[in-house]
Amino acid sequence: MRIVGGEWRGRALAEPRRTSGLRPTADRVRESVFNLLAGGRHGDPVSAARILDLFAGTGALGLEALSRGAAQCVFVESGRAARALLSRNIDRLGAGDRADILPADATRLQKNSSEPARLVFLDPPYGRDLGTRALIMARRQGWIADSALIIWEEQAPQSAPGGFAGIEQRRYGDTWITVLRAQPLGQA
């Protein structure tokens, strides 16, 4: 598992043990996601952006965004082993000044006291219906900016929950990427 583009292109990331239950986003899927983001269709959601990586795991998506010019990433991860792996990956890349690890359940976030994210990566455990709950909670607690772009990775295409508009869906092998946009608060 490596960073596929930007400043840290080719740098290896620490990988989880097969028995860990973590499922990092494959390099080819990450590359496809960032090609989609760089295509101009969605503006430039990465450069100088504040990123929110929900169910961060190894941090591959958020770290890829930092490598490609994002200003800051908040990694939300509840698992102790995953946080240790994430911390190791942040250290390997020297990204500590641009990365914050929030040891929390993504479906139970507390109120955000800083700038909301304009790009959100959402990679919940497949098939457990956690993505919708996490998105709604993050939006309610001020973690997601109006018009923020959401990249949701799952085993099947996902429907946009209230407060979000579906933009597109793409399949990469057994992985589906659903792209959403946060609607301004008060619109649903």
Q: Quick count: other Cβ atoms within 10 Å of Cβ 122?
A: 25
CATH architecture entry for 25-182 = 3-Layer(aba) Sandwich (3.40)
The single residue listed with the structure tokens 């407060």 is: 163
Quote the pTM value: 0.93
Express each pLDDT in 119-168 by its tens digit.
999 999 887 889 999 999 999 999 999 999 999 999 999 999 999 999 99
CA 94 – CA 66 distance, rounded (Å): 11
Express each pLDDT in 104-133 by its tens digit.
999 999 999 999 999 999 999 887 889 999
Question: In degrees, to the nearest 5, what angle opens at C-alpha 125 toward C-alphas 113 and 169?
Answer: 85
CA 50 – CA 71 distance, rounded (Å): 6
| Paired tokens of 185 | 């608060």
Express each pLDDT in 63-84 by its tens digit.
999 999 999 999 999 999 999 9
